């Protein structure tokens, strides 16, 4: 009989159980909105204004998260095909097609109940043009009120006061009045301050968790495991007591792992030997999430930092925290600083910093076929990181939630070749990017 831990037992730490409960309760609230009379806002992860939405007693529904949930449950493939039957191109973001295909079949939530029709579509535009088109499709489908917060792109890598004032003005004159109108609740800035205070507390512990990967061995995987860690802070829970509690519990668990000299927990069990430390660019593949993770586990490879875990907020790199003393200004700064709103030189510098501070052995890109926000410029970024750090880099390709674009054998072969490159570099070779 195998002594290998049961994967279902391995992952059931207190923090994961709490997050699972939080997600289930949120979907229950969303799918019960018609009965309870709760108002619903649909928005996106980068630049989402959850603390502000909460001020109006509204629920937050995030289409990206719904697509991820369906991808991990291996239900997104048929949804995407349904959207393509409706005329959507193969090159369209598969998050969008999974959402459109799900709507065509009644928009069923993970709990098996129909999703609510949103009362407000709130788009914080932070670097992804697709969000605008997705927003239009949702508006055409539901015919509900819409509000857009346009966030200027940081083309030269800086945020001017004019840009900041522009976002603040929109929040005050467009977004808040729309939320008041839909909800029937008057805006209370003190309520926003309290929400932001809770956000900052949660963000502090999240940063501690992410930076714990500087330890050797790292107690966390900052890409695959990081997906779970960022869940509450990126979605409908930032600004809640639940988020504060979650990150407090998570930090306690990681502290224990550091004290015991343990590596990260994975679905295959605890990582016993840390052979390779990587920095990864790009989102993971959700339809084969566990299979993808296992390829790293089998090779003793662990991700110590990733850019994907910064799409909903960059807290560890430049020290941003939501500020209850400057609430509206803080929301503007948050939106302007999201990873997808940063130019290529900024993103390269961030990756270079991670490579150095986390003592990574190499840099890996998972290029997403249908995600232009991440994929544009990645080969240039890879070459630049190689030149700056002298560490080997590699490039694999998959997709977000389309199972047709995950070739396990191709990715496994490229990863195996890449780890051989790292070994060659260690013994004094001169590897070239895979």
Kindly list the distances between the CA atom of residue 76 and the CA atoms of 10, 72, 73, 167, in Å, as whole numbers in the listed order. Answer: 27, 8, 8, 35
The angle formed by the CA atoms of residues 328, 330 and 332, to the nearest 5 degrees, is: 75
State residue 429's pLDDT score.
Answer: 58
State residue 141's pLDDT score.
Answer: 85
Residue-range domains of the chain with CATH:
16-191 (3.40.50.11890), 207-220+260-426 (3.40.50.11900)
Q: Other C-beta atoms within 10 Å of 58: how many?
A: 23
State residue 4's pLDDT score.
Answer: 46
State residue 11's pLDDT score.
Answer: 52
Those residues of the chain that have pLDDT short of 70 are 1-12, 429-434
d(CA 127, CA 230): 20
The angle formed by the CA atoms of residues 138, 233 and 42, to the nearest 5 degrees, is: 15
Q: Where are the strands (E) in 288-431, listed by range?
A: 301-306, 362-368, 393-398
State residue 110's pLDDT score.
Answer: 87
C-alpha torsion sign, points 153, 154, 155, 161: positive
Kindly list the distances between the CA atom of residue 370 and the CA atoms of 73, 84, 289, in Å, as whole numbers in the listed order. Answer: 20, 14, 17
d(CA 79, CA 81): 5
Kindly list the distances between the CA atom of residue 48 and the CA atoms of 234, 235, 265, 375, in Å, as whole numbers in the listed order. Answer: 8, 8, 30, 22
Quote the pTM value: 0.92
Of 390, 388, 360, residue with least CA distance to 281: 360
């Amino acid at each position: 009989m195998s002594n290998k831990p049961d994967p279902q037992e391995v992952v059931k730490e207190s923090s994961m159980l709490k997050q699972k409960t939080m997600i289930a309760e949120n979907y229950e609230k969303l799918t019960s909105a018609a009965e309870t009379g709760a108002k619903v806002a649909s928005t996106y992860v980068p630049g989402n204004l959850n603390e502000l939405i909460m001020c109006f007693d509204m629920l937050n529904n995030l289409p990206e998260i719904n697509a991820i949930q369906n991808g991990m449950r291996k239900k997104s493939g048929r949804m995407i095909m349904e959207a393509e039957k409706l005329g959507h191109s193969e090159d369209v973001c598969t998050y969008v097609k999974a959402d459109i295909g799900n709507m065509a079949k009644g928009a069923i939530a993970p709990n098996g109940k129909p999703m609510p029709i949103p009362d407000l579509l709130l788009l914080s535009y932070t670097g992804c043009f697709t969000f605008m088109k997705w927003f239009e499709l949702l508006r055409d489908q539901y015919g509900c009120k819409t509000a857009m917060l346009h966030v200027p792109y940081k083309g030269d890598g800086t945020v001017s006061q004019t840009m900041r004032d522009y976002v603040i003005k929109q929040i005050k004159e467009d977004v808040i009045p729309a939320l008041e109108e839909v909800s029937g609740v008057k805006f209370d800035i003190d309520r926003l301050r309290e929400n932001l205070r809770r956000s900052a507390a949660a963000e502090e512990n999240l940063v501690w968790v992410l930076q714990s990967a500087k330890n050797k061995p790292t107690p966390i995987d900052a890409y695959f495991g990081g997906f779970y860690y960022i869940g509450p802070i990126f979605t409908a829970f930032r600004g809640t007591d639940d988020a504060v509690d979650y990150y407090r519990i998570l930090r306690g668990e990681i502290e224990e792992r550091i004290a015991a000299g343990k590596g990260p927990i994975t679905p295959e069990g605890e990582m016993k030997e840390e052979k390779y430390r990587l920095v990864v660019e790009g989102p993971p593949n959700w339809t084969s999430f566990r299979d993808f993770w296992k390829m790293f586990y089998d090779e003793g490879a662990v991700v110590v930092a990733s850019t994907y875990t910064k799409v909903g907020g960059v807290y560890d790199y430049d020290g941003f925290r939501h500020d209850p003393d400057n609430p509206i200004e803080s929301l503007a700064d948050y939106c302007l600083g999201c990873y997808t709103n940063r130019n290529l030189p900024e993103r390269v510098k961030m990756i270079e910093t991670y490579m150095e501070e986390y003592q990574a052995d190499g840099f890996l890109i998972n290029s997403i076929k249908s995600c232009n926000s991440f994929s544009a410029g990645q080969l240039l970024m890879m070459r630049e990181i190689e030149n700056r750090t002298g560490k080997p880099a590699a490039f694999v390709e998959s997709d977000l939630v389309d199972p047709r674009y995950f070739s396990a054998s191709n990715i496994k072969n490229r990863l195996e070749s890449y780890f051989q490159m790292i070994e060659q570099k260690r013994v004094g070779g001169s590897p070239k990017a895979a």
